[in-house]
Amino acid sequence: MPKLNENYLHVKDSYLFAEIARRVKAYEESYPEKASRIIRLGIGDVTRPLTPRAVKALQEAAASQAVAETFKGYGPEQGYGFVREAIAAYYGRNGVQVDAGDIFISDGAKSDTGNITELFARDNVILVPDPVYPVYVDTNTMDGKEVVYMDGREENHFLPMPDESVKADIIYLCSPNNPTGACYSREQLKIWVDYALRNQAVILFDAAYEAFVTEPGLPRSIYEVEGARKCAVEFGSLSKTAGFTGTRFSYTVVPGELTFCASSGEEMSLRAMWNRRQSTKFNGTPYIVQCAAAAVFTEEGMEECQENLSYYRENARLITEALARKGIPFTGGVNSPYIWFQCPGGMQSWEFFDYLLENAQVVGTPGAGFGKNGRNYFRLTAFGTHEKTAEAMRRFEELLG
């Protein structure tokens, strides 16, 4: 009989968004006459199609696969040089220097933020904000690792800062934040970088929503902060930026400077370890997707993406204005596609989820799914269509009277 990884006993039966989908399906089965009215503003899944440049590159790359001379088999596990260079150039245009050789192409920030736990031993002090993207906690739990929470509350604008009495080894930060939409300033990130350098800790910085930053002066990469190359890994994604939730493309930056001592005293490089991990367990992102991604990372490609993001920003405006009219405090919606607010009437978040689904057929994400500090909060995404977002907020306001 196999001995199972019993750490799985310590994670919830289903992943947050799978649980939401299950509950919505159960509702549809119980009330089939209401099914067509349901508006989904729960999981952050995009509704705008791929941009023209991405589609053209995909089509050309697909056509090249019909020709023996241009056909591609296995690609480099780290990703093709042309797309790694395109990402380095994108960073460069934002004033940040990243070496193409430090960039590893993958199929999703979810996979990479989950898989990176393999590089770290069990007995680390792992700091995770609460509320938080559930992948960070679930993947550490599956690995038998314990996390230490740092509270994100209204008082700190959901942006926890270092507690000098805690000596962390690994720190997860996500900015602009999923789920709260809050965004660290450069000064705040500098405090985190200094803390990490003092403690020889690694920051795992999830920048999946960087393209949503609109307020001038807010950082879009942790590498905007001096010293970050010595302590931070950064995750980026085209899921939300370019509508690749179905197409799949992400990247992880592991600077060569990230070296630490093994217990034997031998120096170990995180970049070399990640390279070893990826080349052993991953055969790369499809060639045609990498071609589409390279087109996205050009100046013109990103301009097209920003048009789509403006579309979502308009939805965020519709949501935040409705909340403001109801006097409901919220964060996010400006530098982020997520809007995070207190559940009305003192309701708990799953209670409010059911109330909204049953009475307005609107689906959101209960804050409890992101941690204990989310128990009385709720998240809506700006990724719907204008029509459905406006209708959802009309029903929301009507329901709250």
User: Is the Cβ of residue 255 or residue 369 nearer to ligand MLT in the bound state?
Assistant: 369
Closest CA to 387 of 41, 108, 127: 41
Q: How many CA atoms lie within 13 A of 360 on its CB side?
A: 24
Location of structure tokens 């559930």: 134
User: How far apart are alpha carbons 326 and 344 in whole angstroms?
Assistant: 9
CB nearer to ligand MLT: pick between 50 and 132: 132
- 341 contacts 298 by C-beta, under 8 angstroms: no
Asked if residues 278 and 104 have their Cβ atoms less than 8 Å apart, the reply is: yes
Q: Report, in Å, the least distance between residue 338 CB and ligand MLT.
A: 8
Name the minimum Å distance from CB 240 to ligand MLT. Answer: 7
CB of 231 to ligand MLT, least distance (A): 25
Question: CB–CB of 374/349 below 8 Å?
Answer: yes
Q: Which residue's CB is nearer to ligand MLT, number 44 or number 255?
A: 44
- Is the Cα torsion angle 190, 193, 197, 199 positive or negative in sign? positive
Contacts of 308 (CB under 8 A, 6+ apart): 46, 48, 51, 242, 243
CB of 8 to ligand MLT, least distance (A): 20
How many residues would you count in the chain? 401
Return the number of the residue (221 or 239) whose C-beta is nearest ligand MLT: 239
- Min dist CB 43 to ligand MLT, Å, is 4
For ligand MLT, the binding residues (CB under 6 A) are: 43-44, 110, 178, 239
The closest residue (CB) to ligand MLT is: 44
Longest dimension (CA), the chain: 66
Identify the CA nearest to 365 among candidates 45, 13, 31, 147. Answer: 45
Closer CB to ligand MLT, residue 43 or residue 328? 43
CB of 44 to ligand MLT, least distance (A): 3
What is the side-by-side strand order in the sheet with 365-366?
330-332, 338-342, 377-381, 365-366
Q: How far is the CB of 303 from ligand MLT (least distance, A)?
A: 24
Q: Which is nearer to ligand MLT, 91 or 383 (CB)?
A: 383
Considering beta carbons, is residue 124 or 331 the nearer one to ligand MLT?
Answer: 331
